[in-house]
Amino acid sequence: MFQDNPLLIQLKNKLSKKKIKVEGVVKSTTKGFGFLEVNAKTTYFIPSKNMQKVIHGDRIIASIEKKNNREIVYPEKLIEPFLKRFIGSIFKKNNCIYIQPNYPYVKNIIFHRYKTLISRSWKDGDWVIAELKKHSLRDNNYFSVNIIEFISEKNNPLSPWHVILSKHNLEKKSPKCNCLNYLPSQVLNSNRIDLTNLDFITIDNYHTQDIDDALFVEEVDSKKLILTVAIADPTEYVSVDTEIDNVAKKRVFTNYLPGLSISMLPRILSEDICSLQPDVTRPVLACKIIISPNGRIIKKKTKFFLAWIRSQSKLSYEQVSDWLEQSGHWKPKNKNIEKQILLLKKIYKIRNLWRKKNALIFADQPEYRFHISKNWKILNISAEKRRIAHKMIEESMISANICAANFLNQSLGFGLYNTHSGFDLLNAKNAVVFLKKYDIVFTPEEIMTLSGFCKLKRLLAKLSNKYVDYRIRRFQSFGEISFKSKPHFSLGLSSYATWTSPIRKYSDMINHRLIKSVITGNHCIAPPDNVLISHIMDRKRKNRIAVREIEEWLYAEFFYNQDYNNKYYQADITDISRGGIRARLLKNGAFIFIPASFIHKIRDELVCSPEYGVVYLKNKVYCRVSDTITVYLLEIKHETKTIIASLIN
């Protein structure tokens, strides 16, 4: 009886126009309009006009008003801006200077109002670092920025490196230091064992100058081999809390980028004074490892000590591999070097066999190398497999790191340990449910133990199903660093601590100092703290992302300057998003994206499932992560450094 009441209708109309307040994150689109994402299930429409007040990624409070049966967002208050410090490029139009942020989803924002203390005649394409000073939603209805640093000109061949490193606040050059705490002549007087008469050799990449490990093997009898691992000792020159030490602590790693390396230590240290170059005497931290005929390390007889060595020969992976594989013309310069190579190969074989039975080994993956000219042009990109010499050195370093972990744990009870916890309880349960589909039966409790995890991984290696491997890896936790000894499930080891690259990794320098404190009887050394560990993990993540983004930029440049039409490529699917397929070309490692529209024309018949890593077509599995597919390239989007490809059915 009340449905036609005029007063009730008027009240309903008032309520329908009443604005509600919500908090969410702005998501922009390439068409100008956007959405306010309140949670995973709730979004509201932002018209193009209202998007002019916000930036993609901003967290805001907005009012929602219903108009024409559609809920419209009206931004009201800025909680947290997305852009703070950012990379941008300059462009000029109508005698005005504009700054375009270098983010795919911020293309609709261009800054005109700016301030800077930099005295420069700005050119189109100049790369800069800027910071947001005024936000339209907060300050006077407009955006403005401060340009705080000039990075490079558009045509600078080093732009890919400089822009990406600046983006992640990473150093663009190796450090320089005006002073050293010790001079080589002073170090020569320290108390070290003289091993300069032994036939130590180094095996590394041909152009490597920062050589941090040398090896010597002796075969006492048919029952055991003795491996002495000698590691360069920068801590003899770099004292705690000195200028050089603080530089290394900030950088944490030598950053190896395509075509460019930026050292952690001043190059005079890493490539000269500390480097184990041939025919010069160098101070080292050494470890003597006794290995039984079945490949087991006799840990009780492991010995760490300070020594002098004199490398007898600098060898390359390619030379040694060629000789062992009986290809090429290179051969060792004398019988002593030849003997060392053969003994190292013997250690590799027995240690690798022991790890296959008692721990875990990683499957070989190709590495992609950028061949860059002196003027920074990309000449080619090649896939390089790990050869026998790489594996020999790797096995020796793993053995040394196992010994270091045991030594630190037994002597101090702390250090910097590389750890991996396998599965947490929830993911262990999910993994077990998934494995049952392939008739692989485990309990969650079983695969959460080191022995159970190793058993599972060995079984999966025999199954040789890349998709199953991918799904199980998605359930696994990430590697961490701990100051207490914990297992490393991915290696199948009860404890693991690296110390073999101290001129390249600050964490290894720390372990050097800890090991030396035991050797020298210094009992006042403190364990590393969580602040330092967090910093190491953060720098590792930033370096990894920077390498990936520089590679993507270089791949885009490489193909942009090539005729890629009518060429087919094999690629492995690496990931699936709701928008399409991500894959990597097998020939050169380039990352590509295949939009869903180029997989199947009828979008409603296609479902891309990131959760399962599968593309479904008409409710059937069409392809999945780890599959090898054939593609051809369609477009190189130079602005976003994206290579768009199409799938060949």
Domain CATH number, residue 57: 2.40.50.140
The total number of structural domains in the chain stands at 5
Check which CATH number belongs to the domain holding 121 and give it: 2.40.50.640
Cα–chain-centroid distance for residue 201?
30
Residue 379, C-beta contacts closer than 8 angstroms, at least 6 positions apart: 371, 372, 373
Neighbour-count burial of 590, counting CB atoms closer than 10 A to its CB (0-12 exposed, 13-18 middle, 19+ buried): buried
Considering the domain architecture, whether residues 248 and 276 belong to the same structural domain is answered as yes
Range of the domain at 30: 20-80
346-389 pLDDT tens trace: 999 999 999 999 999 988 889 999 999 999 999 999 999 999 99
| DSSP track, 304-352 | EEEEEEE-SEEEEHHHHHHHHTT-SS---SSHHHHHHHHHHHHHHHHHH
Tell me, yes or no, whether 487 lies in a domain.
no
Q: Is the pLDDT of residue 164 over 50?
A: yes
Tell me, yes or no, whether 502 lies in a domain.
yes
Tell me, yes or no, whether 167 lies in a domain.
no
Dist. CA 215–CA 285, nearest whole Å? 12
80-102 pLDDT tens trace: 999 999 999 998 888 889 999 98
Considering the domain architecture, whether residues 202 and 304 belong to the same structural domain is answered as yes
Of the residues 80, 95, 118, which one is the last residue of a structural domain? 80
202-217 pLDDT tens trace: 999 999 999 999 999 9
Mean pLDDT of 528-548: 96
Q: Is the pLDDT of residue 11 over 80?
A: no
Of the residues 60, 80, 100, which one is the last residue of a structural domain? 80
Residue 89 near residue 97 (C-beta atoms within 8 A) = no
Dist. CA 34–CA 47, nearest whole Å? 7
Task: Name the one residue in this structure whose structure tokens are 């000792």.
Answer: 233
Considering the domain architecture, whether residues 375 and 497 belong to the same structural domain is answered as yes
> What is the sign of the dihedral through the CA atoms of 393, 248, 173 and 146?
positive
The yes-or-no answer on residue 210 being catalytic is yes
Q: Give the pLDDT band of residue 180 (cuts 50, 70, 90).
A: low
Query: Of residues 251, 310, 351, 504, which has the active-site annotation?
Result: 504
Strand, helix or coil for residue 607: strand
Tell me, yes or no, whether 8 lies in a domain.
no
Considering the domain architecture, whether residues 515 and 612 belong to the same structural domain is answered as no
CA torsion angle 30 33 36 37 (round to 10): -30
Considering the domain architecture, whether residues 348 and 384 belong to the same structural domain is answered as yes
Query: Of residues 126, 199, 210, 233, which has the active-site annotation?
Result: 210
Considering the domain architecture, whether residues 403 and 428 belong to the same structural domain is answered as no
Tell me how many helices (H) and strands (E) the chain has: 15, 31
Q: Is the pLDDT of residue 644 over 60?
A: yes
Considering the domain architecture, whether residues 46 and 139 belong to the same structural domain is answered as no
Tell me, yes or no, whether 24 lies in a domain.
yes
The yes-or-no answer on residue 212 being catalytic is yes
Tell me, yes or no, whether 7 lies in a domain.
no
Considering the domain architecture, whether residues 463 and 368 belong to the same structural domain is answered as no
Query: Of residues 212, 245, 322, 508, which has the active-site annotation?
Result: 212
Q: Give the pLDDT band of residue 185 (cuts 50, 70, 90).
A: very low
Q: What is the mean pLDDT of the chain?
A: 92
Neighbour-count burial of 325, counting CB atoms closer than 10 A to its CB (0-12 exposed, 13-18 middle, 19+ buried): exposed
**Residue of higher predicted confidence among 32 and 63:** 63
* Residue-level pLDDT at 16: 52
Q: Structure tokens of 123?
A: 């050119």
> Which contacts qualify for 67-76: CB closer than 8 Å, 24 or more apart?
70/45, 71/44, 71/45, 72/44, 72/45, 72/46, 72/47, 73/35, 73/36, 73/44, 73/45, 73/46, 73/47, 74/19, 74/50, 75/26, 75/46, 75/50, 75/137, 76/21, 76/137
Tell me, yes or no, whether 43 lies in a domain.
yes
The yes-or-no answer on residue 221 being catalytic is no
Dist. CA 493–CA 490, nearest whole Å? 8
Q: What secondary structure letter does DSSP report for 275? A: S
The yes-or-no answer on residue 317 being catalytic is yes
* Residue-level pLDDT at 6: 65
Of the residues 140, 156, 172, which one is the last residue of a structural domain? 156
Query: Of residues 126, 199, 213, 322, which has the active-site annotation?
Result: 213
10 Å Cβ neighbour count for 227? 23
Query: Of residues 58, 199, 204, 233, which has the active-site annotation?
Result: 204
Query: Of residues 103, 317, 368, 496, which has the active-site annotation?
Result: 317
Considering the domain architecture, whether residues 44 and 59 belong to the same structural domain is answered as yes
Output the CA angle 466-432-583, nearest 5 degrees. Answer: 25
> What is the sign of the dihedral through the CA atoms of 320, 323, 326 and 329?
positive
Strand, helix or coil for residue 230: strand
Considering the domain architecture, whether residues 526 and 391 belong to the same structural domain is answered as yes
* Residue-level pLDDT at 15: 46
* Residue-level pLDDT at 594: 96
Backbone angles phi, psi at 141, to 5 degrees: 65, 25
397-452 pLDDT tens trace: 999 999 999 999 999 999 999 999 999 999 999 999 999 999 999 999 999 999 99
The yes-or-no answer on residue 504 being catalytic is yes
Pairing of strands 620-624, 614-617: antiparallel
Tell me, yes or no, whether 482 lies in a domain.
no
Considering the domain architecture, whether residues 427 and 391 belong to the same structural domain is answered as no
Considering the domain architecture, whether residues 316 and 390 belong to the same structural domain is answered as yes
Find the range with the poorest average confidence among 6-10, 56-60, 383-387, 493-497.
Answer: 6-10
